Amino acid sequence: MSISKDDRIILRPDDIPTKWYNIAADLPEPLSPPLDPATNQPMRPEDLEAIFPKGAIAQEMSVDRYIDIPEEVRDAYLMLGRPSPLQRARRLEKYLKTPARIYFKREDLSPAGSHKPNSAIPQAYLNMKEGVENLTTETGAGQWGTALALACAHFDLGCKVFMVRSSYDQKPFRRLVMETYGATVHPSPSDVTEYGRSVKEKTPDHPGTLGIAISEAVEMCLHQENTKYSLGSVLNHVMLHQTVIGQEVMMQLEQIDTVPDYMVACVGGGSNFAGFCFPLMGQKIRGKVETEFIATEPTSVPSLTKGELRYDYGDTGGMTPKLKMYTMGCEFVPSAIHAGGLRYHGMAPSVSKVAELGYMKTYAYDQSDTFAAGVAFARAEGIIPAPESCHAIKGAMDLALEAKKNNEEKVIVFNLSGHGLLDMVGYDRYLHGNL
């Protein structure tokens, strides 16, 4: 097989985007505002200052199309391996015997192993600039917690992470990576917060949820001096930060004079889907491309395919603002699937809005089918994907097989949001029939 210019498309360090893209500027309808849980009235920026720095709140409320990326953040992005390659999956194409061209964005190459540092770095930076000393957060599979621990080490901040207990038990090496970066990690529900203790009192063996972990992190933030809370998905400023992914993809596709037929990414809270898809989706909203955007989620947490679009708490304990989103309900407890990053009960308001407006499609997959896709990808391309990313791979493979059936040379691009080298318990159970 001869090497082609589209086998791996590389950008230069000075191609790191200088601005984040805000899809709120291009939506035909405004995003619904977060509501105060006590009054059900739209929250003012100052109402959020107890948990977020002013810089993040300004980004959250902004309707500007582009927001400047600080030079210190761009410098840190370079440390993270940005710009990341766009790679063609030729061996997967051959395995599937498809005429489709399949490309994937390499977010697995960051030091933390996923796309999550794209937002962890600017959030830590904004807090550091305002004199904050400590951050609290939640994590599902551990990828967000790892990213924030890395970002806090970079900007010399303390970091406390509440890790969903099912993932804490399944993925001890994720915890060890966070601790190596200097974070303190608690299994959630924990004994260190009032809310965590109340959950454990009712259900001692509770597997935990992201909603519970968020409640614990927010509670600790409110009761610890000079501390703010940092969120890994859902809110709009997180979606903004992740758009460095999609902007790089657009530059890379321009190098090979290609417009994709499909963009595919998994969804849990929505950050990697938004970061990957929103920049090109903005072009579609403005009538410049016809690309279809595909979100893939687990059947055990079908927020977009079976959830209800309404206001709901972002956490289980009712401590956060209410958000207009597709939700399974803030008290929903999903099964302990290995794709821990997709176990959130709701969907980002911005992703919910584009779904409501019909700019994307969503498919739900069973855990066994996604692991089968991940194993096929690993054997073809040599990369073991995160269980979350396996959902995107499954979606891309289904589209490629559809192209084969119809004998169409479609262009499919998916986001490889993270590697699975710390998720081998899940692969072990799949490979040996114990999933």
Q: What is the DSSP string of 107-121?
A: GGGSTTSBSTHHHHH
Which is nearest to 228 in space by CA: 88, 130, 319? 130
Global confidence as pTM: 0.95
Rg of the chain taking only CA atoms, in angstroms: 20
Residue 368, domain member (yes or no): yes
Which is nearest to 233 in space by CA: 165, 315, 334? 315
Identify the CATH number of the domain in which residue 312 sits: 3.40.50.1100
Residue 262, domain member (yes or no): yes
Q: Given strand 134-139, what is the order of strands in its sheet? A: 184-188, 158-164, 134-139, 227-229
d(CA 332, CA 344): 9
Residue 42, domain member (yes or no): no
- Helices 244-255 and 271-285, axial angle in degrees (round to 10): 60
Residue 100, domain member (yes or no): yes
How many other C-beta atoms can be found within 10 angstroms of the C-beta atom of residue 302? 17
Residue 198, domain member (yes or no): no
Q: DSSP state, 5?
A: T
Which is nearest to 370 in space by CA: 308, 296, 272? 296
How far is C-alpha 340 from the geometric centre of its chain's CA atoms?
11
Residue 216, domain member (yes or no): no
Residue-by-residue DSSP string for 243-304: THHHHHHHHHHHHTT---SEEEEE-SSSHHHHHHHHHHHHHHHTTS---EEEEEEETTS-HH
- Please, what's the largest Cα pairwise distance for the chain? 64
Return all residues near 232 (Cβ < 8 A) that are at least 6 apart.
116, 119, 120, 137, 138, 139, 144, 145, 147, 148, 238, 269, 271
> What pLDDT, in 10s, does the model give residues 95-115?
999 999 999 999 999 999 999
* CA angle (348, 426, 391) in 5-degree steps: 40
Residue 331, domain member (yes or no): yes
Of the pLDDT bands very low, low, confident and very high (cuts 50, 70, 90), residue 339 is low
Residue 388, domain member (yes or no): yes
At residue 7, the pLDDT reads 94
> What pLDDT, in 10s, does the model give residues 58-100?
999 999 999 999 999 999 999 999 999 999 999 999 999 999 9
Count of structural domains, the chain = 1
Q: Give residue 280's domain range.
A: 84-114+241-431
Q: Is pLDDT at 2 greater than 70 in this prediction?
A: no
Q: Mapping DSSP to helix (H, G, I), strand (E, B) and coil, where does residue 76 land?
A: helix
Of the pLDDT bands very low, low, confident and very high (cuts 50, 70, 90), residue 340 is low
